Chain A
């Protein structure tokens, strides 16, 4: 089935460590996104990418990094520079054209906890 797969679902990190959250999609979508959600809060955009080998900072990019080497993959690295990384992370993708044009679809999310 087509969809967006995020892994791991739960991740614990020690302070000072970098961690990478995986996001893979087989929907053939061009655009991919990373959002952060804190408890009881809305979604905040971290990074997004419209095409391979290109990405832009969102509203809260500091302390995060991404890559887009393949169309189907958009991993997010949470670096030690991110001061408060404990949150729920959502990956999403969209396609610009067609009946579902500009509709964003989400993965199931990853919980990151700093211990």
Chain B
């Protein structure tokens, strides 16, 4: 069965610094999608970034970028120039076309220190 592992339950970073959140996954599929979602205190789940496995180029969205290592089954999220508004729970997620559902990791709580 596919699994998604986020090994860092909590992390802290100084404002304006860069932080990397880790995610690994286990799959035998070759065609799949990976996501990072942000859940601030409001509890709204917000899509941060999306990566298609067949694309070798790492996805970027403004200050957010990923390091997608397909062979290693690793999908880390880098947040540059951290801002107070980045404080949230971050979830890594996986979806394969053969599956009906998206699988989420347990989340990493990110604290931003002023």
Question: What is the 8 Å Cβ interface bit string for chain B, positions 65-104, against chain A (1 contact, 0 not)?
Answer: 0000000000000000000000000010101010011101
- Residues of A contacting B100 with CB < 8 Å? 31, 48, 50, 56
- Whether A45 contacts B91 in the complex (CB less than 8 A), given A88-B43, A102-B33, comes out as no
What CA separation (Å) do A106 and B45 show in the bound complex? 6
Instruction: Say whether A90 contacts B101, CB under 8 Å.
Output: no
A42 contact from B42, B43, B104, Cβ within 8 A: B104
- Residues of B contacting A100 with CB < 8 Å? 50
CB distance from A12 to the nearest CB of B (A): 18
CB distance from A68 to the nearest CB of B (A): 13
What CA separation (Å) do A61 and B37 show in the bound complex? 24
Chain B interface residues toward A at CB < 8 A: 33, 35, 37, 42-47, 50, 91, 93, 95, 97, 100-102, 104-107
